[in-house]
Amino acid sequence: MRIPIIETLLVIAGIGVAAMAPDTIPSADIVLRELKAGNEHHVAKQYQHPHQTTERQRELASGQSPHAIILSCADSRVAPEIILDQGLGDLFDVRVAGNVAGVAELASIEYAVEHLHTPLLVVMGHQKCGSVTSAAEPGTPEGHLPSLIAMIQPAVAKAKGQPGDLIENAVRVNVENVVRRIRTSKPLLADFVAHGQLTVVGAVYSLDTGKVTWLPTGAANATTNHDQLAANAVCPLSVR
């Protein structure tokens, strides 16, 4: 699948496309294991700081082949390269308050999947998210915030019927909703998912511990409570 207009614009803008052929890109499972291991490095504060050399920078000047797309909140405390111990060219970051998937975010994801052949997408919410908290509070925020908050409010409404902390539950449900939206997004992403070319997973980052809790595979179709979520925390891995 190709979009000639997008390709033409990229060439005009001088933006390089993938330098790595699709058949040489690691599988989503391998990439996910690497991200889990990277987060364990972050939790232990034993970083490997991969791909942060001058040679890596020069290598990337001719193109990019990120192994994972991270749709995360724009919160300054949630920096994917640090909390997943990754380097230059490893992650295709899409950051927006509340880690929502609006038109611009979906378009960015489509570019990475369609043109860079990125096999894995992680939707990552986080503890104490200000956008989710705003969506749970009465009143109307100022400026352009209402349109963003409106995308989160369905998660808050669903979380209100669940036991436990409202904001924690809403953060998780919001991630589940966004995962579902991406998996079913037409005309491109749903096809990539259906053909096994894109794996979409959900996760929640703890500001307190630095740990990423990875949602169960079926989290977009069924809601788990906080205790079940904690039980699915990843075990330390070392793949590098």
Enter the tokens of residue 48.
Answer: 């490997």
Q: Which pLDDT belongs to residue 231? A: 33
Tell me what pLDDT residue 127 has: 98
What is the reported pLDDT for 64?
96
Q: What is the pLDDT of residue 24?
A: 76
Domains of the chain: 4-231 (3.40.1050.10)
Q: Which of 232, 157, 236, 168 is nearest to 206 (CA)?
A: 168
Query: Which pLDDT belongs to residue 20?
Result: 54
Mean pLDDT by 10 residues, the chain (240 residues): 40 43 80 98 98 97 97 98 98 98 98 98 98 94 95 97 96 98 98 98 98 82 38 32
Which pLDDT score, from 0 to 100, does residue 17 have? 42
Statement: the pTM of the whole predicted model exceeds 0.85: no
